[in-house]
Amino acid sequence: MAVFSVSARALLLAVLAAAGVRGNPIDLSSDGAITPCATVKCTSTTTCKVIDGKAQCVPILGVKCGNTVCEAGLTCCNPSCSLCVKPGMACTAHICPPIPIDPLPIQCGSTVCKPGLECCNASCGTCVEPGKGCTKQLCVPTGPQCGKTVCPAGMVCCNSSCGVCSPPDGACTAQFCTDSD
């Protein structure tokens, strides 16, 4: 195949355009050589990429557009409004205000931090304002209150009048205890 200089290529294109010849633009690589994609027509949801020296139609990946991702075949025309359109369609130049996004709740041990607070000690379930001090002591997990006692972690209260704790599926007495028991 003959290689034309840039000026000869421009002259050839001008002659072809004047003669009414239509076609896709020539696909050139960075060094000016014609690439294999110059002769490939891909569908609207794919684009031509040279992979291992061969032209291949690959899916067009979504384009980030503000708070959204444009679907294949659409372009981002206004990121401030997260607006995607088909190529060549009109687009507004209006600047959209940012949409406030509520922060997600933060789990902090056995508690959930309120908005604006951060978890500083998960073992104690302590939430504080950002940048505030925090104790780093270890809080031993405890179980539920069971009468006058507290069940150890992993145990459940099965008889609160007697303060008896058991494993979740364990046996339990059905007796009633008084303060003198």
Structure tokens at 107: 């789990």
Can you give the pTM of this predicted structure?
A: 0.29
Which comes out higher in pLDDT, residue 6 or 58? 58
Q: For residue range 111-140, what is the model confidence (pLDDT) as tens digits?
A: 888 888 888 888 888 889 888 888 778 887
Q: For residue range 19-71, what is the model confidence (pLDDT) as tens digits?
A: 443 333 444 455 666 778 877 787 766 778 888 888 888 776 777 888 888 88
> How far apart (Å, rounded) are the C-alpha atoms in residues 42 and 114?
52
> How far apart (Å, rounded) are the C-alpha atoms in residues 27 and 35?
6
Give the closest residue to 122 by CA, choosing from 136, 143, 104: 136
State residue 78's pLDDT score: 92
